[in-house]
Amino acid sequence: MENQEGTQQPHLVLAHELFLLTHHDVQDIEKVRLKEEVLTAIKSDDMVPLYETLVAESLLEKDQGLLDSMRAKNEDELKNLDEKEPYHVMRDPSAVKKELQMEIATLAHLIVQMGFWLFYRIADAEENLGESEVREAHLAKSLFYIRIGDKDKALEQLKVTEGKTVAVGQRMDLVFYTLQLGFFYMDFDLISKSIDKAKNLFEEGGDWERKNRLKVYEGLYCLSTRNFKKAADLFLDSISTFTTYELFPYDTFIFYTVLTSIISLDRVSLKQKVVDAPEILTVIGKIPHLSEFLNSLYDCQYKSFFSAFAGLTEQIKLDRYLHPHFRYYMREVRTVVYSQFLESYKSVTIEAMAKAFGVTVEFIDLELSRFIAAGKLHCKIDKVAGVLETNRPDAKNALYQATIKQGDFLLNRIQKLSRVIDL
């Protein structure tokens, strides 16, 4: 899972292609192309476990010759990795030490002839068993299992590598490898535990570059688990320091940032952190419909907003991380925009609202009735007069009622306590 700066991790690209391959909205002709790309990626990395899984799910046709060839390549490469490990890597340390001591005894008679420098050289070899080489050998095997898609062995080998790793930064890199595995398989339990582990490691130290990278990983986890508010906060904190290209390109990062911010931030914060953010302004124009989606909402151009919103739905639906939350996100966005429109009025005709959004009266009537029934909008519909009347809750009155309720609860607790004391 090695990657160059600015390049998305190939296995995450493959994961997205696999997602599209099983998506019912993707056309069959497109699926033919995706199937070829998936098979090419599997062949290039000899991903036997993934190939067997896809064959079992009838997504790929079984080619026994290809399967045998990939298995043979993996066995040869694993054998080479074992052979290239330092002499002591695959053996018991106590046995290695005993053999070294025997060799020292055997060669002891040469000390007199060759001088005392040989003694110091052998002693140095015994003390310095090459711990960095041991770690690198185990890491190479971990990356091999990751590359071929063997999740269980990869996690096991990463744990072994961690046991050979001392530096906090290198241990953090191992956590990032684990997180990438988690996102490939969408294993949220593994991702959550790895994020917690990374945060604990940062208490021991760690550089800011890795800390900022972890924010993006955690933000993507929050996005994938429908915690859009926290995802927006983490993404916004990482805009100026983004280096996590292994997860997704910067354009995609901005796409996620804008989408999560729109349903999470108030108008003032949205203006300061998103609408006027220079990092977002330099990229947002490259993403279809996104600029119009953001700016039309802030400028209260609701007809343009709905038009841009319709254009973005396909991108959201075909996104691997957003797809499970498609319906939820659509509802939340509409709640935001309807609330913003109604905020300016004490009462407004349904016809005027329908005209502002560029839709029919029947559509608005049906939409609002659902949101009102769900408690998402604070208004009521006068069907006879064709008018919407807002009944926004009074914040001061709500605070007063809450204070009275808490006061009653406290008095009851004091009375119960006084009875106990009297006894």
Whole-number percent of the chain with pLDDT over 70? 85
Residue with token string 């329908």: 354
Sign of torsion over alpha carbons 22, 23, 25, 27:
negative
Give the total residue count for the chain: 423
Find residue 379's DSSP bridge partners: 390
pLDDT of the residue at 96 = 43
The span from the CA of 160 to the CA of 166, in Å, is 12
The span from the CA of 16 to the CA of 33, in Å, is 14
- If you average pLDDT over each of 85-89, 125-129, 139-143, 219-223, which comes out highest? 219-223
Confidence of residue 304 (pLDDT cuts 50, 70, 90): very high
pLDDT of the residue at 110 = 38
Q: How far is CA 338 from CA 66, 304, 305, 313, 330, in A?
A: 56, 14, 11, 18, 12
Confidence of residue 6 (pLDDT cuts 50, 70, 90): low
pLDDT in tens, 12-62: 999 999 999 999 999 999 999 999 999 999 999 999 999 999 999 999 999
* pLDDT at position 414 over 60: yes
pLDDT in tens, 106-136: 444 433 343 333 333 323 333 444 678 878 8
Name, in order, each residue with C-beta under 8 angstroms of 231's C-beta and a sequence gap of 6 or more.
219, 220, 222, 223, 256, 260, 264
pLDDT in tens, 172-207: 999 999 999 999 999 999 999 999 999 999 888 778
Instruction: Give mean pLDDT, residues 221-236.
Output: 96
Find residue 381's DSSP bridge partners: 388
Instruction: Give mean pLDDT, residues 383-399.
Output: 77
The pTM of this model reads 0.81
Name, in order, each residue with C-beta under 8 angstroms of 165's C-beta and a sequence gap of 6 or more.
135, 171, 174
Can you give the three-state secondary structure of 117-179, one letter per residue?
HHHHHHHHHHHCCCHHHHHHHHHHHHHHHHHHCCHHHHHHHHHHHHHCCCCHHHHHHHHHHHH
Lowest pLDDT segment from 294-303, 313-322, 344-353, 396-405: 396-405
pLDDT of the residue at 412 = 84
Between the CA atoms of 291, 293, 298 and 304, what dihedral angle is there, to the nearest 10 degrees?
A: 110
Instruction: Give the mean pLDDT of the chain.
Output: 85
CB 171 within 8 A of CB 205: no
The span from the CA of 200 to the CA of 205, in Å, is 9
The span from the CA of 217 to the CA of 12, in Å, is 13
Instruction: Give mean pLDDT, residues 137-156.
Output: 92
The contacts found for 89-95 with CB under 8 angstroms, 24 or more apart, are: 89/133, 89/134, 89/137, 89/138, 93/129
Q: Where are the beta strands (DSSP E) in 266-418?
A: 347-349, 379-382, 387-390
Instruction: Quote the distance between the C-alpha of residue 61 and its chain's center.
Output: 31
Identify which of 364, 365, 254, 262 has the alpha carbon closest to the alpha carbon of residue 303: 364
Lowest pLDDT segment from 26-30, 324-328, 330-334, 388-392: 388-392
Q: How far is CA 79 from CA 1, 139, 144, 276, in A?
A: 20, 15, 12, 56
